[in-house]
Chains A and B, each alone.
Chain A
Amino acid sequence: MKIHEYQARGIFASAGIPVPRGQAVSTVADAVAVAEEYARPVMVKAQVHVGGRGKAGGVQYAENVEAARVWAQKILGMEIKGLKVNTVLVTEAADIVSEAYVGIVIDRASKAPVIMVSAAGGIDIEEVAAKTPEKIFKLAVDPQLGLRVYQARDLAATLYRDIKLIRQAADIIMKLYDVYWKTDASLVEINPLITTPDGKVVAIDAKVNIDDNGLFRQKDIAAMRDLDAEDPSEMEAREGDLSFVSLNGNIGCMVNGAGLAMATMDLVKHYGGDPANFLDIGGSSNPQKVLTAMSIILRNPNVRAILINIFGGITRCDDVANGIVMAYEELRPEVPIVVRLTGTNEVAARKILKKINLESAATLDEVVKKTIELAETDADSAGRVA
């Protein structure tokens, strides 16, 4: 799960990491009020869940209150990579002497949190990693032992020469590591970490991504979820305990299991079709889930045909069949549906499906080819739920 910069800097601030004064606002009047209160130059920063907002013009320097008003007007409501900006963060503008990068991520290979620091901060770290990897210093931390102060100091010493700056940066790295563990983060990042003319080290940006698997014990953070920033279908799917990702094609897919769902989508593409979504109904075979899944798929006006691929293991095919019948009767879809059910209780499932007239297929390749064919013939009839 992603949280906004203003939320992440809130977490940093309570952990004792120095950040400039700032406030998140959603109206121009409030933005102006903040600028007036600070009575000095400010930054106006768009709060959206995409990278590259600076390049898109979503981060601006305002010399005075009037400039703050102009920028807040421009940025609030603007779209960055398809996402509307509803909130801006107004912070005191800092005088910058140098910019560094500090980040901590889960590293799958070393099975440890890895701290990365670079004196080349302020730009995309992936670019630094690609072009000048020698400018990044990494440390895999023993998760049992935690980060030791000397390690943080050694990392900080790759950024600065002045011991006063090194001490401050080491302290920030220690605190950032603490934030990483306490929030069940998968990534915490300060880019840039700056030094000021009066010798202070300050975090002027903040990024925290949370491991979804840790959310059950992170109630405060789970509540930070910005519902406006999310695809409503993906949100509904999450509430219904389904995994759903919107795509641009016209073939709605319903599959059990994430790997099989991906493989099914790949095969749709392989045979010349284009999937409208990724949807995994999961391991349990609750008919209600099938109903929710179907209604989410049908809400997409681009969908011309639906492909259902179930490999029964723990998932019982007859349960899924009952769900399909329920969904069919309740939603009355006008697009063709092709079903392939294999595995546990498939014979019973086929009997249940006889109640409604659906296309069926015996193999994975067949269900994919058949659905593509029907989507193409149905393309001009533009059918969907009445």
Chain B
Amino acid sequence: MSILIDKKTKLIVQGITGRDGSFHAEQMKKYGTNVVGGVTPGKGGTKLHGIPVFDNMQEAVAKTKANTSVIYVPPPFAIDAIYEAADAGIKLIVCITEGVPANDMMKVYDYVKAKGIRMIGPNSPGLISTDKSKVGIMPGNIVKKGPVGVISRSGTLTYEAIWALTCAGIGQTTCLGIGGDQIIGTNFIDVLEMFEADKATKAVVMIGEIGGTDEEQAAKFVKKKMTKPVVGFIAGRMAPPGKRMGHAGAIISGGSGTADDKIKALNAAGIPVAASPTEIPDLIREKLANKKAASTKKTKASAKTKTGARKKVAAKKTAPKASARAGAKAKKKSTKKR
């Protein structure tokens, strides 16, 4: 299984005849994505890489029954492209475009949400469900089928983390970049929820960075709602306050949004944070091993007694935390002493 996209995904590429749109339409098709059409006003009726091109989304969706769209159009037109996709009945909109004004995004966010549409991005690298479908610009050759879900605010840093996992022999269900902007359609929590519900995903890697408090909120969510282990990475420990580090959303303002705050919040929720992307596979292995140990205990417990159901939950809750959160517990103790 996977989240958001799979073999049922029927994709329209908005801005298909542009430089990026054309290149990635071909890449996505090669990966096996069902690219059913593209849209560029004035180019309707032509074909590109064997993909039919339409003048507008209404027509494209009517003729292809597409359910997903990916946007490669330049910033001044990207907002309109999202509205057009929403009005044409698309259910999942992935906006790759970088440089979309934040105030426009606020309006779009409310609009698509009211229609029950899932929007990813803007400034997102898109997503890949391994061996099924790829929407966006992530390189298809770095992923490998396996049990880990990956979520990130970044592009190439995500590839680095995925590549580290793949090299260590740990594969992925779905890898998704939520985007580096301030106002984005889908946040960490939305994706964590989906991974929690996805049967094939056994553990999650969450890659955050400075700016905002999305990671802190995600940490709270993990502690309260997630049964699956989560491993973290936070970029920007070196970043000076007040400077925008490339991404529009990566800015420390008024002392909030620092990497230290985020790492603390993650640790407090039992999420170990890797110092380097190359440490991620080890942390995942550890977590999965703990999880297994916990589930063996769980089976034993339920076999022994009829009230197993209750114990099952208890085992599930305590066992993986016990070892992984040793650090957090030690910290708590020292605070008490003080």
Contact = CB atoms under 8 A, between A and B. Distances in A.
Nearest to B100: A213
A165 interface: no
Contacts of A111: 105-106, 109-110, 183
Interface string A255-267: 1111111110111
A259 B211 CA distance: 12
A312 B27 CA distance: 14
B243 interface: yes
Given A143-B106, A214-B103, A262 B238 contact: yes
B246 A143 contact: no
B103 A258 contact: no
A151 B312 CA distance: 51
Interface string B53-86: 0000000000000000000000110000000000
A181 B95 CA distance: 23
Given A243-B245, A258-B247, A363 B76 contact: no
Given A184-B101, A266-B238, A278-B246, A257 B157 contact: yes
Interface in A169-211: 180-181, 184-186, 211
Interface string B87-113: 000000000001111110111011100
Nearest to B259: A266
A123 interface: no
A113 B76 contact: no
B237 interface: yes
Contacts of B181: 213
Contacts of A268: 238
B217 interface: yes
B160 A260 contact: yes
Given A213-B100, A278-B245, A343-B139, A311 B159 contact: yes
A262 B245 contact: yes
A5 interface: no
A318 interface: no
A255 B246 CA distance: 11
Interface stretch (B148-156, B196-204, B293-301): B148-156
Given A262-B157, A262-B235, A278-B246, 18 more contacts: A108-B212, A111-B105, A111-B106, A111-B110, A212-B248, A243-B246, A255-B156, A257-B156, A257-B157, A258-B209, A259-B152, A259-B158, A260-B156, A260-B157, A262-B246, A266-B237, A266-B238, A363-B278
10 contacts: A106-B183, A143-B107, A184-B103, A213-B102, A243-B245, A257-B157, A263-B277, A266-B235, A315-B156, A342-B163
